[in-house]
Amino acid sequence: MKSSKSYLWVIFLMMALQFAHAQDSTSLSANDFRKKLKEVINNPDLYNDAFAKLRSALVNKNNFLNDFDLKFKTFQTEGLPPSLGFEYKYDNSWTKVSKEAKFARTFSIDLNGNVAFKHEHNPNDFLESKANYSFDWFVGGHIDKNTNADVDSLELIDSLIIENQGKPAEAVLREKRREYVSMSNMFYLGLNAKASYESNQTFTQQQFAPGLLVNLGFKAWDRHSDARWLNIPDYPFALLRLITGSSKDFMPSRASFPSVLLGIDHVIPTDDALRKAVLTDMKAFERFRFEAAFKTEAAVLDKQVIWFSANYRWFRELGASKAIREADLAGYSYFTCNLASSNGFFVSYTHGRLPFDVKANSTYGLGFVYNLGTWK
Amino acid sequence: MAWTKQSKTCRTVYLVLQEDLEQISQTVEFEPAGALTMDQLQFYSTAASSGIVDAEAKIIAVSYDRILVNSYRRSYKATFDQQSAVAALVEILKDKEKTVEDLSDTTGQIYAERRTA
């Protein structure tokens, strides 16, 4: 109790310091004072700093906080003023791998969502609490075992590469190193059984959605194969890397093939005002879902690596009634992409809606990301 | 354990991530690479759902383990086997706040260096 009181004092003190910083030394009118106070209270950085302090103090005492992430942010939706809120995420998993790591089994718990303090300003009004069991296959990714003499050479080359960084010899040494590490292409298939509870932030819409999902992935690890040329989404970025000088050749990435998640959910609505408005009963229904994700290096500018990330999600109710289709509740699609620099600067664009959103919104974002866990 | 050029493990982690798994840009030199967080590596997309990030982390962990065991002939320390090694790597990779230096520390805890005659 004593420690929680002291943390409240820390938060109060930080608000006071922020406020003192926000105002200048000249006297303020009552209106200016209210305006400045509002600016301080609505600044998500204040709460992020306070939470980071609280977490860094408690993290060794409570392991739950190691996997829990809370990020205060400002929501900006078309036609509405900015509104303060937060995004939360808890993700923990336990993995068992078979001999030779050809198969893996994982049990995970994942809670995530966005909460705006004014709920009508939330463009991503979707909270999900999920338990998942997955069975994974890794096909390919074979590597021949090096001899001791090979390892001696490899480790010597590693040392020389690092000693010669930025010098002409580096490229030759890297080329030589490739003779000692050679892996075949790898396919990944994951089968998932999951149970999730979904709601909006006011819990006026809730549903339970168990489902079966398939995860697909591919890595063109084999440098000698032409598989990397199948990474067509990376072509524009390979060109950009060439133009900006971060790559000497037009070469799609071997690692950045899009990942895919697809499957069927059995949705049991428990409270859904939107469906109640158009249906006389609240029967369970099947929903197809698809997600694709892609991340690749876009460019390097002024020594900052710029990553491009995109994510598309699509939900479709199977056998939806005419009333559901006419009310535009049968399908949802959501797209987000961002360019993020290694110094934290990002620009983002989001369009579409997730289940429970009434209408599609477009949201633009611009700002800096702070990593709470590395706060000192 | 510090992120230093003198450490064989640090050098191995850096070059496996950069050269073999294409997780670090070719333009990032050894010194700054240690401070990169997992979400600054290629596999970790903050825009994707946790289902996709989990799958990507497993692919990287399994590939990384195979390179260390086969290309570098590293063996597992007494308290680890392949199952627990990959599970420990997945835990690090999935945590967006962990750094490449943290991954190097974990690698040092899991894998023993090759014994030379």
User: Domain range spanning residue B58?
Assistant: 8-112
Number of domains in chain B: 1
Number of domains in chain A: 1
Predicted confidence (pLDDT) at residue A2 exceeds the cutoff of 50: no
Burial (0-12, 13-18, 19+ Cβ within 10 Å), A304: middle
Question: Band of the pLDDT at A372, cuts 50, 70, 90?
Answer: very low
A214 near B CB under 8 A: no
Predicted confidence (pLDDT) at residue A217 exceeds the cutoff of 50: yes
Report if residue A96 sits inside a domain.
yes
Contact B47 A295 (CB under 8 A): yes
Contact A180 B30 (CB under 8 A): no
Lowest-confidence segment of A50-64, A192-206, A231-245, A309-323 by average pLDDT: A50-64
Q: How far is the C-alpha of A162 from the C-alpha of A322, rounded, in Å?
A: 65
User: Domain range spanning residue A60?
Assistant: 42-144+182-368
Across the beta sheet with A345-352, the strand order is A68-75, A83-97, A103-116, A127-140, A186-199, A205-219, A259-272, A285-301, A304-317, A331-341, A345-352, A361-368
- Say which CATH number the domain at A190 has: 2.40.230
Report if residue A103 sits inside a domain.
yes
Q: Answer whether B58's CB lies under 8 Å from A104's CB.
A: yes
In chain A, % of residues over pLDDT 70 = 78
Q: What is the pLDDT of residues A225-269, one digit of tens each?
A: 999 999 999 999 999 999 988 888 999 999 999 999 999 999 888
Report if residue B37 sits inside a domain.
yes
Mean pLDDT for A41-47 is 69
Give me the phi and psi of A176, to 5 degrees please.
-65, -40
AA letter at B15: L
Between A214 and A14, the higher pLDDT residue: A214
Predicted confidence (pLDDT) at residue B10 exceeds the cutoff of 70: yes
Between A144 and A364, the higher pLDDT residue: A144
Report if residue B3 sits inside a domain.
no
Contact B40 A342 (CB under 8 A): yes
Q: What is the pLDDT of residues B40-52, one digit of tens each?
A: 999 999 889 888 9
Q: What is the pLDDT of residues B57-109, one digit of tens each?
A: 999 999 999 999 999 999 999 989 888 899 899 989 998 889 999 999 999 99
Q: Answer whether A311's CB lies under 8 Å from A336's CB.
A: yes
How many CB atoms sit inside 10 A of residue A322's CB? 9
Mean pLDDT for A300-313 is 92
Report if residue B1 sits inside a domain.
no
Report if residue B117 sits inside a domain.
no
Mean pLDDT for A139-165 is 95
Report if residue A323 sits inside a domain.
yes
Please provide the average confidence, as pLDDT, over all residues in chain A: 82
Bridge partners of A89?
Answer: A69, A112
pLDDT at residue A98, as a whole number: 77
Predicted confidence (pLDDT) at residue A376 exceeds the cutoff of 90: no
Report if residue A207 sits inside a domain.
yes
Q: How far is the C-alpha of B7 from the C-alpha of B29, rounded, in Å?
A: 15
Report if residue B15 sits inside a domain.
yes
Mean pLDDT for A177-191 is 95
- Out of A101, A155, A296, whose CB is closest to B86? A101
Residues 226-285 of A with CB under 8 A from B: 246-247, 253-256, 259, 261
Structure ipTM over 0.85, yes or no: yes
